Amino acid sequence: MNIGITDRNTDIVDRNADIANRDADIVDKSKGVENDVLKVEHLSVSFTQYGRGLRRRTLHAVEDLNLSVRAGEIVAVAGSSGSGKSLLAHAVMGILPYNANMDGTVYYDGEILTKERAKRLRGREIVLVPQSVSYLDPLMKIGPQVTKGKNDAATREKSRRVLAGYGLSEDVEEKYPFQLSGGMIRRVLIATAVMETPKLVIADEPTPGLHPEAAKRVMGHFREIADTGAGVLLITHDLELALSAADRITVLYGGRTVGEAAAADFLCEEKLEHPYMKALCRSMPKNWNWDGYKLCDSGEILEYMRKEYGR
């Protein structure tokens, strides 16, 4: 019980520090702030790397990234591979690798998400849906992985119910990860998230390798989760998928935010401000016209991006 009290005390301290920070936001975004489950401001993640000989460089994987996720909403972060998208998830949860440096501020539920607070909340209120089978212990059966090893009747009952909800039969619990198909693994990974009652779900590339039908079904699962009042942060390289499922989309380029737009804005190019986003919009199959195709193909826009964003 003592622990609870100290927790609350630190929370109050956090909140006080936070209120000062938030004043600036309230001015222009008076409506949204209270509902923000997650708010990321000026996030940077960098690594120090050694090359051959005495060469040494700092690699900026994520630079000055901003985004927010409201309750009940799916926000997609879309960017090409290698744009540091996974690191965003790891940074929010406080599980970056030991050689990474992180800068910037993360707010969760209106308060600064410190490393200690993230440690307390992750796996409970903040859950991760990782991208592949390698995130499951190869030598542990599915059952104990879903229940995190808890063996009481209630937990086992819940795990059975959750797995059944995703169309996974009871014998899946007795299987090892390598014995399941890609689609089943995906559903198991989502099930681990729903075992808790999350307020924020971070899904890191939850669909690659799935055929469009299955991907759509997976997205449906995330919509269900959002409908229960949780915020969903969807990290993906697949813009079209993001558009079909998300309410808002943040586009990354080389680890930096290019811009943010409502999913609906992508239907109409004129509503988008940034040339890269305009080009992305045009390059989508359903919006394909000769002009857009040429623009991307010629690399003009990429050249522009390289100049602007240094990649």
Partner 1 sequence: MTQKTGKLKFIGKQAVRMAVLLFLASVFAFALLTVSPVDPLQTNVGQTALGSMSPEQIEKLKAYWGAGVPPVKRYLSWAAAFIRGDMGISLLYRRPVAAVIAEKLANSALLLFSAWLISGALGFLMGILAGKRRGGLADRIVTGVSLVIAGTPAFWIGMVFLMIFAVQLKLFPIGLSVPIGVAADEVTLADRLYHAVLPAAALSVTGISQIALHTREKMIEVMESDYVLFARARGESETAVILRHGLRNILLPAMTLQLSSVSEIIGGSVLIEQVFSYPGLGQAAVTAGLGADVPLLLGITVITAAIVFLGNMTANILYGVVDPRIREGAMRG
Partner 2 sequence: MSTDRAFWKDRRFRMLALAAAAAAFLLAVTVLGSVWHDAALETDFSRKNLAPCLKYPFGTDWMGRDMFARTVAGLSLSIRLGILTACVSAAIAFVLGLSAAVMGRFADGAVTMMIDLVMGIPHILLLVLISYACGKGFKGVVIGVSLTHWASLARLIRGEVLQLKASPYVKIAEKLGKGKLYIAFRHMAPNLFPQFITGLILLFPHAILHEASVTFLGFGLSPEQPAIGVILSESMNHLAMGRWWLALFPGLFLVASVLLFHYIGQTVCRLIDPGSVHE
Task: Name the residues that contact partner 1, by CB under 8 A.
Answer: 90, 93, 95, 97-98, 119, 121-124, 127-128, 130, 132, 134-140, 148-149, 176, 178-179, 192
Q: Within positions 192 to 211, which residues make up the interface with partner 2, using CB under 8 A?
A: none
The region of 48-56, 135-143, 178-186, 234-242 touching partner 2 under the rule CB under 8 A is: 48-56
Residue 57 beta carbon to partner 2: minimum distance, rounded to whole angstroms: 10
Between 30 and 58, whose beta carbon lies closer to partner 2? Answer: 58
Is the C-alpha dihedral spanning 195, 239, 275, 262 positive or negative? Answer: negative
Of 110, 105, 94, 116, residue with least CA distance to 10: 116
102: contact with partner 2 by CB under 8 A: no
48: contact with partner 2 by CB under 8 A: yes
d(CA 99, CA 228): 37
Report the 10 Å Cβ neighbour count for 13: 12
Question: Which amino acid does the sequence have at 253?
Answer: Y
The region of 11-19, 51-59, 223-231, 241-249 touching partner 2 under the rule CB under 8 A is: 51-59
Task: Evaluate whether 229 touches 200 at the Cβ level (below 8 Å).
Answer: no
Between 201 and 243, whose beta carbon lies closer to partner 1? Answer: 201
42: contact with partner 2 by CB under 8 A: no
Of 232, 242, 248, residue with least CA distance to 284: 242
Task: Evaluate whether 43 touches 91 at the Cβ level (below 8 Å).
Answer: yes
d(CA 14, CA 27): 21
Environment class of residue 244 by beta-carbon count within 10 Å: exposed (0-12), middle (13-18) or buried (19+)? middle
Between 48 and 179, whose beta carbon lies closer to partner 2? Answer: 48
Between 104 and 165, whose beta carbon lies closer to partner 2? Answer: 104
Residue 53 partner contact from partner 1, partner 2, none using kind-dependent CB cut-offs of 5 to 8 Å? partner 2
99: contact with partner 2 by CB under 8 A: yes
Environment class of residue 285 by beta-carbon count within 10 Å: exposed (0-12), middle (13-18) or buried (19+)? exposed
Q: Which residues bind partner 2 (CB under 8 A)?
A: 48, 50-54, 56, 58, 99
